[in-house]
Amino acid sequence: MNLEWYIARRLLKGDATRSVSVPIVKIAIVGIALGLSVMLLSLFIITGFKREITEKLSGFTAHLNVQPFMPGSMGGEGVIRGVDTLVAELKEIEGVKDVYGYIEKPAIFKSKEEIHGVVLKGVGAGYDATFFQRNIVEGEFPDFSAEATSNDILVSRSVASMLGVGIGDRITSHFVQEPPRARVFTVAGIYDTGFKEYDDVMVVADARHLARLNGWKAGEVSKIAIELDDVERVNEIAGKVEDKIDELGVYCEVRTLTDEAPQIFDWLALLNMNVWVILILIVTVAGFNMVSGLLILILDKTTFIGIMKALGYKNVSLRKLFLYISAGLIVRGMLWGNVLAFALAGVQAAFHVIHLDPVTYYMDTVPIHFSIGYVILLNAGVIAVTVLMLVIPTMLVSRISPVKAIKFE
Protein backbone atom coordinates (compact mmCIF):
# COMPACT_ATOMS: atom_id res chain seq x y z
CA MET A 1 0.00 0.00 0.00
CA ASN A 2 1.10 3.57 -0.75
CA LEU A 3 2.29 4.85 2.66
CA GLU A 4 1.60 8.52 1.87
CA TRP A 5 -1.94 7.73 0.77
CA TYR A 6 -2.52 5.61 3.91
CA ILE A 7 -1.33 8.40 6.25
CA ALA A 8 -3.32 11.00 4.30
CA ARG A 9 -6.49 8.94 4.71
CA ARG A 10 -5.92 8.60 8.45
CA LEU A 11 -5.31 12.33 8.82
CA LEU A 12 -8.43 13.14 6.79
CA LYS A 13 -10.48 10.87 9.05
CA GLY A 14 -8.85 12.13 12.28
CA ASP A 15 -10.41 14.24 15.02
CA ALA A 16 -10.56 17.57 13.23
CA THR A 17 -12.06 19.47 16.17
CA ARG A 18 -8.67 19.60 17.90
CA SER A 19 -6.89 21.27 15.00
CA VAL A 20 -6.54 25.05 14.77
CA SER A 21 -6.46 24.80 10.97
CA VAL A 22 -9.96 23.32 10.76
CA PRO A 23 -11.90 26.61 10.28
CA ILE A 24 -9.57 27.78 7.49
CA VAL A 25 -9.65 24.40 5.76
CA LYS A 26 -13.44 24.29 6.02
CA ILE A 27 -13.68 27.75 4.47
CA ALA A 28 -11.46 26.55 1.60
CA ILE A 29 -13.71 23.49 1.10
CA VAL A 30 -16.83 25.68 1.13
CA GLY A 31 -15.17 28.01 -1.39
CA ILE A 32 -14.47 25.12 -3.73
CA ALA A 33 -18.01 23.76 -3.31
CA LEU A 34 -19.63 27.13 -4.05
CA GLY A 35 -17.23 27.89 -6.91
CA LEU A 36 -17.79 24.54 -8.59
CA SER A 37 -21.57 24.82 -8.19
CA VAL A 38 -21.52 28.26 -9.86
CA MET A 39 -19.38 26.89 -12.70
CA LEU A 40 -21.68 23.90 -13.21
CA LEU A 41 -24.80 26.08 -13.14
CA SER A 42 -23.21 28.39 -15.71
CA LEU A 43 -22.48 25.36 -17.87
CA PHE A 44 -26.01 23.95 -17.51
CA ILE A 45 -27.57 27.31 -18.39
CA ILE A 46 -25.40 28.20 -21.39
CA THR A 47 -25.79 24.71 -22.92
CA GLY A 48 -29.51 24.99 -22.17
CA PHE A 49 -29.67 28.30 -24.03
CA LYS A 50 -27.82 26.83 -27.00
CA ARG A 51 -29.98 23.73 -27.13
CA GLU A 52 -33.28 25.59 -26.71
CA ILE A 53 -32.51 28.28 -29.29
CA THR A 54 -31.13 25.76 -31.78
CA GLU A 55 -34.25 23.61 -31.42
CA LYS A 56 -36.54 26.61 -31.93
CA LEU A 57 -34.59 27.91 -34.92
CA SER A 58 -34.51 24.48 -36.57
CA GLY A 59 -38.24 24.12 -35.85
CA PHE A 60 -39.01 27.33 -37.75
CA THR A 61 -36.50 26.73 -40.54
CA ALA A 62 -34.18 23.69 -40.47
CA HIS A 63 -30.59 22.78 -39.63
CA LEU A 64 -29.75 23.32 -43.31
CA ASN A 65 -31.70 24.98 -46.12
CA VAL A 66 -31.13 24.52 -49.83
CA GLN A 67 -32.44 27.49 -51.84
CA PRO A 68 -31.85 29.24 -55.17
CA PHE A 69 -28.88 31.62 -55.19
CA MET A 70 -31.05 34.59 -56.05
CA PRO A 71 -34.84 34.87 -55.80
CA GLY A 72 -36.21 34.96 -59.31
CA SER A 73 -33.13 33.30 -60.83
CA MET A 74 -34.95 30.00 -61.42
CA GLY A 75 -38.55 31.17 -61.63
CA GLY A 76 -40.98 33.78 -60.45
CA GLU A 77 -39.99 33.62 -56.76
CA GLY A 78 -36.98 31.35 -56.77
CA VAL A 79 -38.36 27.92 -57.52
CA ILE A 80 -36.53 24.59 -57.16
CA ARG A 81 -37.63 21.95 -59.66
CA GLY A 82 -37.01 18.23 -59.68
CA VAL A 83 -37.45 18.13 -55.92
CA ASP A 84 -38.20 14.41 -55.62
CA THR A 85 -34.87 13.41 -57.14
CA LEU A 86 -32.94 15.97 -55.12
CA VAL A 87 -34.64 14.98 -51.86
CA ALA A 88 -33.89 11.30 -52.48
CA GLU A 89 -30.22 12.07 -53.14
CA LEU A 90 -29.87 14.28 -50.06
CA LYS A 91 -31.43 11.64 -47.80
CA GLU A 92 -28.58 9.29 -48.72
CA ILE A 93 -25.99 11.59 -47.09
CA GLU A 94 -24.69 10.18 -43.80
CA GLY A 95 -25.94 12.17 -40.80
CA VAL A 96 -29.11 13.47 -42.51
CA LYS A 97 -32.29 12.60 -40.60
CA ASP A 98 -35.02 14.11 -42.76
CA VAL A 99 -35.41 16.13 -45.97
CA TYR A 100 -38.53 17.91 -47.17
CA GLY A 101 -39.48 20.74 -49.49
CA TYR A 102 -41.58 23.76 -48.50
CA ILE A 103 -42.75 27.10 -49.85
CA GLU A 104 -42.34 30.48 -48.16
CA LYS A 105 -44.50 33.40 -49.26
CA PRO A 106 -45.04 36.81 -47.64
CA ALA A 107 -48.57 38.03 -47.12
CA ILE A 108 -50.63 40.66 -45.34
CA PHE A 109 -53.27 39.38 -42.93
CA LYS A 110 -56.37 41.49 -42.46
CA SER A 111 -58.96 40.92 -39.75
CA LYS A 112 -62.00 43.07 -38.96
CA GLU A 113 -59.88 45.54 -37.00
CA GLU A 114 -56.18 45.08 -37.77
CA ILE A 115 -53.65 44.23 -40.49
CA HIS A 116 -50.30 42.48 -40.00
CA GLY A 117 -47.49 41.27 -42.26
CA VAL A 118 -46.59 37.57 -42.03
CA VAL A 119 -44.65 34.85 -43.84
CA LEU A 120 -46.62 31.77 -44.81
CA LYS A 121 -44.71 28.50 -44.61
CA GLY A 122 -46.38 26.02 -46.92
CA VAL A 123 -45.83 22.37 -45.98
CA GLY A 124 -47.26 19.07 -47.14
CA ALA A 125 -48.72 15.91 -45.64
CA GLY A 126 -45.30 14.41 -44.82
CA TYR A 127 -44.16 17.38 -42.75
CA ASP A 128 -42.96 16.50 -39.22
CA ALA A 129 -45.01 18.87 -37.06
CA THR A 130 -43.55 17.74 -33.72
CA PHE A 131 -42.04 21.16 -32.97
CA PHE A 132 -45.28 23.08 -33.50
CA GLN A 133 -47.44 20.43 -31.82
CA ARG A 134 -45.25 20.68 -28.72
CA ASN A 135 -45.91 24.43 -28.59
CA ILE A 136 -49.62 24.53 -29.46
CA VAL A 137 -51.67 26.33 -26.78
CA GLU A 138 -55.08 26.24 -28.47
CA GLY A 139 -56.67 24.12 -31.18
CA GLU A 140 -54.62 21.66 -33.21
CA PHE A 141 -52.14 21.44 -36.05
CA PRO A 142 -53.94 21.61 -39.43
CA ASP A 143 -54.41 18.39 -41.37
CA PHE A 144 -52.81 18.73 -44.80
CA SER A 145 -53.18 15.06 -45.77
CA ALA A 146 -56.66 15.35 -47.32
CA GLU A 147 -57.04 15.22 -51.08
CA ALA A 148 -58.56 18.70 -51.20
CA THR A 149 -56.42 21.74 -50.42
CA SER A 150 -56.87 22.80 -46.79
CA ASN A 151 -57.82 26.36 -45.82
CA ASP A 152 -56.69 25.82 -42.22
CA ILE A 153 -53.64 27.61 -40.86
CA LEU A 154 -51.57 27.64 -37.66
CA VAL A 155 -50.81 31.08 -36.24
CA SER A 156 -48.88 32.22 -33.18
CA ARG A 157 -50.44 33.63 -30.04
CA SER A 158 -48.88 37.03 -30.75
CA VAL A 159 -50.35 37.15 -34.30
CA ALA A 160 -53.76 36.02 -33.03
CA SER A 161 -53.62 38.70 -30.33
CA MET A 162 -52.61 41.47 -32.77
CA LEU A 163 -55.41 40.54 -35.17
CA GLY A 164 -57.95 39.80 -32.45
CA VAL A 165 -58.79 36.32 -33.75
CA GLY A 166 -59.25 32.90 -32.18
CA ILE A 167 -59.84 29.28 -33.12
CA GLY A 168 -62.32 28.95 -35.98
CA ASP A 169 -62.08 32.60 -37.03
CA ARG A 170 -61.43 33.53 -40.64
CA ILE A 171 -58.58 35.76 -41.82
CA THR A 172 -58.27 37.40 -45.21
CA SER A 173 -54.76 37.16 -46.61
CA HIS A 174 -53.57 39.54 -49.32
CA PHE A 175 -50.61 38.60 -51.53
CA VAL A 176 -48.59 41.35 -53.20
CA GLN A 177 -47.96 39.95 -56.66
CA GLU A 178 -49.01 40.54 -60.24
CA PRO A 179 -51.96 40.35 -60.35
CA PRO A 180 -52.71 40.83 -56.60
CA ARG A 181 -54.44 37.87 -54.96
CA ALA A 182 -56.45 37.31 -51.79
CA ARG A 183 -57.33 34.15 -49.91
CA VAL A 184 -59.42 33.45 -46.83
CA PHE A 185 -57.94 31.12 -44.22
CA THR A 186 -59.40 29.58 -41.06
CA VAL A 187 -57.43 29.49 -37.78
CA ALA A 188 -57.13 25.83 -36.76
CA GLY A 189 -54.47 26.20 -34.06
CA ILE A 190 -52.49 28.73 -32.06
CA TYR A 191 -48.90 28.14 -30.94
CA ASP A 192 -46.48 29.98 -28.67
CA THR A 193 -42.73 29.27 -28.62
CA GLY A 194 -41.60 32.44 -26.85
CA PHE A 195 -39.32 33.18 -29.82
CA LYS A 196 -40.87 36.55 -30.61
CA GLU A 197 -38.87 37.29 -33.76
CA TYR A 198 -40.41 34.25 -35.46
CA ASP A 199 -43.70 34.03 -33.58
CA ASP A 200 -44.65 37.49 -34.86
CA VAL A 201 -44.42 36.47 -38.52
CA MET A 202 -44.49 32.69 -39.01
CA VAL A 203 -47.77 31.08 -40.14
CA VAL A 204 -48.07 27.45 -41.28
CA ALA A 205 -50.35 26.73 -44.24
CA ASP A 206 -51.00 24.15 -46.96
CA ALA A 207 -48.21 24.22 -49.56
CA ARG A 208 -50.72 23.55 -52.35
CA HIS A 209 -52.34 26.94 -51.75
CA LEU A 210 -49.04 28.77 -52.14
CA ALA A 211 -47.97 26.70 -55.17
CA ARG A 212 -51.23 27.61 -56.91
CA LEU A 213 -50.75 31.29 -56.10
CA ASN A 214 -47.21 31.15 -57.57
CA GLY A 215 -48.40 29.26 -60.63
CA TRP A 216 -46.11 26.34 -59.79
CA LYS A 217 -46.61 22.69 -60.65
CA ALA A 218 -46.80 19.89 -58.09
CA GLY A 219 -43.42 19.19 -56.49
CA GLU A 220 -41.97 22.66 -57.09
CA VAL A 221 -40.82 24.42 -53.91
CA SER A 222 -38.92 27.51 -52.83
CA LYS A 223 -36.65 25.76 -50.32
CA ILE A 224 -35.54 22.29 -49.22
CA ALA A 225 -35.09 21.74 -45.49
CA ILE A 226 -32.54 19.25 -44.14
CA GLU A 227 -32.75 18.00 -40.55
CA LEU A 228 -29.64 16.39 -39.04
CA ASP A 229 -29.08 13.68 -36.44
CA ASP A 230 -26.41 15.80 -34.74
CA VAL A 231 -26.55 19.59 -35.04
CA GLU A 232 -22.89 19.80 -33.96
CA ARG A 233 -21.98 18.40 -37.40
CA VAL A 234 -23.90 21.08 -39.29
CA ASN A 235 -20.84 22.60 -41.03
CA GLU A 236 -19.43 19.20 -41.96
CA ILE A 237 -22.69 17.98 -43.50
CA ALA A 238 -23.28 21.37 -45.18
CA GLY A 239 -20.08 20.71 -47.14
CA LYS A 240 -21.35 17.28 -48.19
CA VAL A 241 -24.69 18.77 -49.28
CA GLU A 242 -22.90 21.42 -51.36
CA ASP A 243 -20.84 18.70 -53.06
CA LYS A 244 -24.01 16.73 -53.81
CA ILE A 245 -25.95 19.63 -55.36
CA ASP A 246 -22.86 20.58 -57.42
CA GLU A 247 -22.66 16.99 -58.61
CA LEU A 248 -26.33 17.08 -59.62
CA GLY A 249 -25.90 20.44 -61.35
CA VAL A 250 -28.51 22.20 -59.20
CA TYR A 251 -28.07 25.98 -59.11
CA CYS A 252 -28.64 26.42 -55.36
CA GLU A 253 -26.84 27.45 -52.18
CA VAL A 254 -26.78 25.84 -48.73
CA ARG A 255 -27.54 27.98 -45.67
CA THR A 256 -26.97 26.84 -42.08
CA LEU A 257 -28.75 27.97 -38.92
CA THR A 258 -25.91 30.44 -38.32
CA ASP A 259 -26.47 31.94 -41.78
CA GLU A 260 -30.20 32.29 -41.10
CA ALA A 261 -29.80 34.05 -37.73
CA PRO A 262 -26.20 35.31 -37.34
CA GLN A 263 -27.11 37.91 -34.67
CA ILE A 264 -28.50 35.22 -32.38
CA PHE A 265 -25.41 33.03 -32.65
CA ASP A 266 -23.18 36.07 -32.12
CA TRP A 267 -25.10 36.64 -28.88
CA LEU A 268 -24.56 33.00 -27.89
CA ALA A 269 -20.84 33.34 -28.66
CA LEU A 270 -20.73 36.35 -26.33
CA LEU A 271 -22.39 34.24 -23.62
CA ASN A 272 -19.72 31.59 -24.23
CA MET A 273 -16.98 34.13 -23.60
CA ASN A 274 -18.70 35.24 -20.38
CA VAL A 275 -18.80 31.64 -19.16
CA TRP A 276 -15.07 31.21 -19.88
CA VAL A 277 -14.31 34.35 -17.86
CA ILE A 278 -16.42 33.02 -14.97
CA LEU A 279 -14.69 29.62 -15.09
CA ILE A 280 -11.19 31.10 -15.09
CA LEU A 281 -11.91 33.55 -12.27
CA ILE A 282 -13.63 31.01 -10.03
CA VAL A 283 -10.97 28.32 -10.57
CA THR A 284 -8.28 30.88 -9.73
CA VAL A 285 -10.06 31.99 -6.55
CA ALA A 286 -10.74 28.39 -5.50
CA GLY A 287 -7.08 27.52 -6.11
CA PHE A 288 -5.81 30.38 -3.94
CA ASN A 289 -8.30 29.41 -1.23
CA MET A 290 -6.79 25.95 -1.16
CA VAL A 291 -3.26 27.37 -1.24
CA SER A 292 -3.95 29.41 1.91
CA GLY A 293 -5.66 26.42 3.50
CA LEU A 294 -2.70 24.17 2.71
CA LEU A 295 -0.17 26.65 4.11
CA ILE A 296 -2.10 26.87 7.37
CA LEU A 297 -2.44 23.08 7.44
CA ILE A 298 1.34 22.69 7.03
CA LEU A 299 2.00 25.16 9.86
CA ASP A 300 -0.53 23.32 12.03
CA LYS A 301 1.23 20.00 11.33
CA THR A 302 4.75 21.34 11.89
CA THR A 303 5.41 19.04 14.84
CA PHE A 304 4.10 16.06 12.88
CA ILE A 305 6.41 16.99 9.97
CA GLY A 306 9.42 17.23 12.34
CA ILE A 307 8.70 13.79 13.83
CA MET A 308 8.32 12.21 10.38
CA LYS A 309 11.61 13.77 9.23
CA ALA A 310 13.34 12.53 12.39
CA LEU A 311 12.12 9.02 11.52
CA GLY A 312 13.79 9.32 8.11
CA TYR A 313 10.83 10.44 6.01
CA LYS A 314 12.01 12.31 2.87
CA ASN A 315 10.87 15.76 1.80
CA VAL A 316 9.47 14.40 -1.48
CA SER A 317 7.30 11.90 0.40
CA LEU A 318 6.07 14.59 2.79
CA ARG A 319 5.17 16.88 -0.10
CA LYS A 320 3.31 14.01 -1.74
CA LEU A 321 1.52 13.35 1.57
CA PHE A 322 0.23 16.91 1.81
CA LEU A 323 -0.80 16.86 -1.85
CA TYR A 324 -2.86 13.74 -1.10
CA ILE A 325 -4.45 15.50 1.88
CA SER A 326 -5.22 18.56 -0.23
CA ALA A 327 -6.63 16.45 -3.05
CA GLY A 328 -8.89 14.68 -0.54
CA LEU A 329 -10.17 18.01 0.76
CA ILE A 330 -10.68 19.31 -2.80
CA VAL A 331 -12.65 16.20 -3.78
CA ARG A 332 -14.78 16.60 -0.67
CA GLY A 333 -15.60 20.18 -1.62
CA MET A 334 -16.25 19.18 -5.24
CA LEU A 335 -18.70 16.47 -4.17
CA TRP A 336 -20.72 19.03 -2.24
CA GLY A 337 -20.46 21.44 -5.16
CA ASN A 338 -21.84 18.85 -7.58
CA VAL A 339 -24.69 17.97 -5.23
CA LEU A 340 -25.62 21.65 -4.80
CA ALA A 341 -25.42 22.42 -8.53
CA PHE A 342 -27.50 19.41 -9.59
CA ALA A 343 -30.07 20.13 -6.87
CA LEU A 344 -30.53 23.77 -7.90
CA ALA A 345 -30.52 22.93 -11.62
CA GLY A 346 -33.00 20.10 -11.03
CA VAL A 347 -35.41 22.43 -9.22
CA GLN A 348 -35.21 24.95 -12.09
CA ALA A 349 -35.66 22.25 -14.74
CA ALA A 350 -38.67 20.75 -12.97
CA PHE A 351 -40.48 23.83 -11.62
CA HIS A 352 -39.17 26.75 -13.77
CA VAL A 353 -38.62 28.95 -10.73
CA ILE A 354 -36.61 31.68 -12.50
CA HIS A 355 -38.40 33.40 -15.39
CA LEU A 356 -37.06 35.49 -18.25
CA ASP A 357 -38.34 38.16 -20.60
CA PRO A 358 -39.00 36.29 -23.89
CA VAL A 359 -38.54 39.51 -25.87
CA THR A 360 -34.89 39.64 -24.77
CA TYR A 361 -33.99 35.98 -24.22
CA TYR A 362 -36.29 34.19 -26.74
CA MET A 363 -37.75 32.06 -23.93
CA ASP A 364 -39.78 32.64 -20.78
CA THR A 365 -37.74 30.61 -18.30
CA VAL A 366 -34.06 29.84 -17.63
CA PRO A 367 -33.23 26.69 -19.63
CA ILE A 368 -31.25 23.83 -18.11
CA HIS A 369 -29.43 21.12 -20.01
CA PHE A 370 -27.49 18.38 -18.22
CA SER A 371 -24.43 17.35 -20.21
CA ILE A 372 -22.57 14.58 -18.38
CA GLY A 373 -19.55 14.88 -20.69
CA TYR A 374 -19.06 18.56 -19.85
CA VAL A 375 -19.60 17.86 -16.14
CA ILE A 376 -16.84 15.23 -16.12
CA LEU A 377 -14.46 17.50 -18.04
CA LEU A 378 -15.14 20.44 -15.72
CA ASN A 379 -14.62 18.37 -12.57
CA ALA A 380 -11.42 16.87 -13.95
CA GLY A 381 -10.16 20.31 -14.98
CA VAL A 382 -10.89 21.85 -11.57
CA ILE A 383 -9.12 19.15 -9.59
CA ALA A 384 -6.14 19.15 -12.00
CA VAL A 385 -5.68 22.94 -11.87
CA THR A 386 -6.13 23.27 -8.10
CA VAL A 387 -3.77 20.38 -7.30
CA LEU A 388 -1.12 21.82 -9.65
CA MET A 389 -1.45 25.17 -7.88
CA LEU A 390 -0.64 23.39 -4.60
CA VAL A 391 2.67 21.91 -5.78
CA ILE A 392 4.68 25.07 -5.02
CA PRO A 393 3.24 25.64 -1.48
CA THR A 394 4.24 22.08 -0.49
CA MET A 395 7.89 23.14 -0.93
CA LEU A 396 7.52 24.80 2.48
CA VAL A 397 7.84 21.30 3.95
CA SER A 398 11.46 21.11 2.77
CA ARG A 399 12.38 24.23 4.78
CA ILE A 400 11.14 22.86 8.11
CA SER A 401 13.97 21.69 10.44
CA PRO A 402 13.17 18.49 12.42
CA VAL A 403 14.74 19.84 15.67
CA LYS A 404 12.85 23.16 15.55
CA ALA A 405 9.66 21.46 14.35
CA ILE A 406 9.50 19.01 17.28
CA LYS A 407 9.85 21.95 19.72
CA PHE A 408 7.25 23.99 17.75
CA GLU A 409 4.09 25.00 19.62
Residue-by-residue DSSP string for 309-369: HHTT--HHHHHHHHHHHHHHHHHHHHHHHHHHHHHHHHHHHHH--SB--HHHHSSSB----
pLDDT band at 396 (very low <50, low <70, confident <90, very high): confident
pLDDT, tens only, 170-222: 999 999 888 889 999 999 999 999 898 899 999 999 999 999 999 998 889 99
Choice between 72 and 368, residue whose per-residue pLDDT is larger: 368
Give the pLDDT score at 249: 86
Residue-by-residue DSSP string for 41-67: HHHHHHHHHHHHHHHHHHHHS-SEEEE
> Is residue 398 predicted with pLDDT exceeding 80?
no
Choice between 406 and 190, residue whose per-residue pLDDT is larger: 190
Give the pLDDT score at 18: 54
Give the pLDDT score at 29: 82
pLDDT band at 327 (very low <50, low <70, confident <90, very high): confident
Distance, CA of 244 to CA of 86 (rounded, Å): 9
- Tell me 391's DSSP state: T
> Is residue 85 predicted with pLDDT exceeding 70?
yes
Distance, CA of 35 to CA of 282 (rounded, Å): 6
Side chain identity at 268, as an amino acid letter?
L
Give the pLDDT score at 98: 94
Give the pLDDT score at 405: 59
Distance, CA of 138 to CA of 189 (rounded, Å): 6
Choice between 114 and 303, residue whose per-residue pLDDT is larger: 114
Nearest to 332 by CA among 32, 43, 19: 32
> Is residue 226 predicted with pLDDT exceeding 70?
yes
Confirm if 59 and 132 have CB atoms less than 8 A apart. Answer: yes
pLDDT band at 264 (very low <50, low <70, confident <90, very high): confident
Give the pLDDT score at 106: 94
pLDDT band at 74 (very low <50, low <70, confident <90, very high): very low
Choice between 65 and 300, residue whose per-residue pLDDT is larger: 65
Indicate the range of 205-214, 323-332, 368-377 predicted with least confidence.
323-332
State mean pLDDT over 284-309.
Answer: 81
Give the pLDDT score at 229: 93
Indicate the range of 25-34, 42-51, 336-345 predicted with least confidence.
25-34
Choice between 276 and 207, residue whose per-residue pLDDT is larger: 207
pLDDT, tens only, 14-38: 544 455 556 777 787 888 899 999 9
> Is residue 142 predicted with pLDDT exceeding 50?
yes
Indicate the range of 115-119, 147-151, 312-316, 380-384 predicted with least confidence.
312-316
Percent of the chain with pLDDT over 90: 51
Give the pLDDT score at 13: 66
State mean pLDDT over 371-399.
Answer: 87
State mean pLDDT over 67-94.
Answer: 77
Indicate the range of 143-147, 242-246, 297-301, 390-394 predicted with least confidence.
297-301
State mean pLDDT over 226-255.
Answer: 92
Instruction: Tell me the longest C-alpha to C-alpha distance in the chain.
Output: 103
Residue 228 — φ and ψ, nearest 5°? Answer: -110, 155
How many other CB atoms are there within 10 angstroms of residue 337's CB atom?
Answer: 25
**Mean pLDDT of all residues belonging to the chain:** 87
Percent of the chain with pLDDT over 70: 92
Which whole-number Å values give the CA distances from 151 to 9, 15, 208, 277, in the listed order?
A: 74, 78, 10, 52
